[in-house]
């Protein structure tokens, strides 16, 4: 990358974006510009030696300001959350298309050297995810298109926009389809949390309250894979700097578990067993989803390596400490 050009992280006040800024900073890369719509006091992680800007990246002018003087752009900005948020806020999720549209337009205007877009496994066709014991999803399984309503369609559309900005304008873009990223410093309450954090919080609350029960959304037989944040950060940067990853690629663990098994792991960490109450009316997403990592192994000779047991224990400990800190 050209010297002194900014590395911009959109969505830097969020979970993955905050960790990405922290990781780039640890590596001594920069100068860094971190951007989020949230007030600075609400950012998950913030660093005083980074240029921190509060901007609404759904606005064209804000994106032009954000990318002025930039060389590399990581666009992780989105209005999103776990399945409970996605299923009840489809219009808000669709409006995120304005962010990537205006970011790409600004990238073209400023001659950005490389542009990373964070897509999602929610782009995959629903018809291939009806069986909990599904075959892992390959990149081509996004078509014929039948994406998650709202959020998934926005991600799929934005992937196509990246492709066409590359074809028509020569903007180098990289697209990763995230599969359920989790870890410390993330949302675990309030409605936007994802399954690993939500399960950890519920187990911790049951332990602290002495009421040894837990509500599980769905029948617990849904299958997923979960990628620890450190693996995600490494994968993002491997993909960003690759010369041969020119199409959207899976970035996720291939370690598939049921939601019941996820609860088992959290219970083992806590050292207790809970009565399970299944809420069959709650949002639960597709019946089965797992990442086929054949392509990332072939092109980058890599796939995530941190086990769910290891990652969830770190996440559980952080959430437990944070809950105790808030109580004090």
Mean pLDDT of the chain: 94
Q: Show the DSSP H helices in the chain as ranges.
A: 15-26, 60-67, 83-88, 90-95, 97-110, 151-169, 195-209, 229-240, 259-270, 294-300, 308-327
Per-residue pLDDT tens digits for 99-127: 999 999 999 999 999 999 999 999 999 99
| Average pLDDT, integer, range 152-177 | 98
Question: Is residue 117 among the annotated active site residues?
Answer: no
Q: How confident is the model at residue 3 (pLDDT cuts 50, 70, 90)?
A: low
| Average pLDDT, integer, range 53-58 | 98
Give the active site residue among 124, 151, 188, 320. 151
Q: Show the DSSP H helices in 69-214 as ranges.
A: 83-88, 90-95, 97-110, 151-169, 195-209
Q: What is the pLDDT of residue 125?
A: 93
Please give the helix or strand (H or E) that residue 54 lies within, else none.
Answer: strand 51-54
> Considering the chain, what percentage of its residues have pLDDT values greater than 70?
99
Q: What is the pLDDT of residue 1?
A: 47
Q: How confident is the model at residue 14 (pLDDT cuts 50, 70, 90)?
A: very high
Asked whether residue 82 carries a pLDDT value surpassing 90, the answer given is no
> Considering the chain, what percentage of its residues have pLDDT values greater than 90?
86
Asked whether residue 281 carries a pLDDT value surpassing 70, the answer given is yes
What does the DSSP assignment read for 111-143? Answer: T-SEEEEEEEGGGS-GGGSSSTTPPPBPGGGG-
Asked whether residue 73 carries a pLDDT value surpassing 80, the answer given is yes
CA dist., res. 152 & res. 94, Å (int): 9
| Average pLDDT, integer, range 200-213 | 95
Per-residue pLDDT tens digits for 233-279: 999 999 999 999 999 999 999 999 999 999 999 999 999 999 999 99
Q: What is the pLDDT of residue 147?
A: 95
Q: What is the pLDDT of residue 37?
A: 97
| Average pLDDT, integer, range 156-160 | 98
CA dist., res. 322 & res. 190, Å (int): 14
Assess contact for 225 and 289: CB atoms under 8 A: yes
| Average pLDDT, integer, range 227-231 | 98
């Amino acid at each position: 990358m050209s010297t002194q050009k900014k590395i911009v992280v959109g969505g830097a006040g969020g979970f993955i974006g905050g960790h990405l800024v922290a990781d780039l900073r640890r590596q001594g890369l920069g100068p860094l510009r971190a951007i989020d719509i949230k007030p600075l006091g609400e950012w998950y992680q913030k660093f005083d030696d980074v240029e921190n800007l509060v901007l609404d990246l759904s606005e064209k002018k804000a994106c032009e300001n954000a990318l002025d003087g930039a060389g590399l752009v990581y666009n992780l900005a989105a209005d999103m959350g776990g399945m409970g948020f996605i299923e009840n806020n489809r219009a808000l999720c669709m409006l995120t298309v304005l962010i990537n549209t205006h970011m790409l337009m600004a990238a073209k205007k400023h001659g950005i050297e490389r542009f990373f877009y964070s897509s999602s496994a929610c782009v995959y066709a629903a018809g291939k995810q009806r069986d909990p014991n599904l075959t892992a999803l390959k990149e081509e399984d996004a078509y014929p298109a039948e994406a998650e309503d709202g959020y998934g369609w926005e991600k799929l559309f934005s992937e196509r926009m990246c492709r066409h900005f590359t074809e028509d304008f020569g903007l180098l873009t990289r697209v990763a389809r995230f599969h359920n990223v989790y870890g410390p410093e993330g949302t675990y309450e309030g409605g936007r949390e994802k399954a690993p954090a939500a399960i950890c919080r519920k187990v911790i609350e049951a332990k602290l309250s002495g009421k040894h029960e837990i509500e599980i959304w769905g029948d617990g037989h849904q299958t997923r894979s979960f990628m620890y944040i450190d693996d995600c950060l490494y994968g993002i940067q491997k993909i960003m700097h690759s010369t041969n990853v020119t199409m959207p690629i899976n970035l996720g663990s291939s370690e598939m578990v049921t939601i019941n098994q996820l609860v088992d792991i959290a219970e083992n960490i806590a050292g207790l067993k809970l009565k399970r109450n299944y809420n069959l009316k709650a949002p639960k997403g597709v019946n089965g989803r797992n990442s086929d990592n054949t392509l990332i192994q072939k092109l980058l000779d890599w796939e995530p390596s941190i086990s769910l047991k290891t990652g969830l224990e770190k996440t559980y400990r952080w959430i437990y400490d944070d809950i105790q800190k808030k109580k004090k």
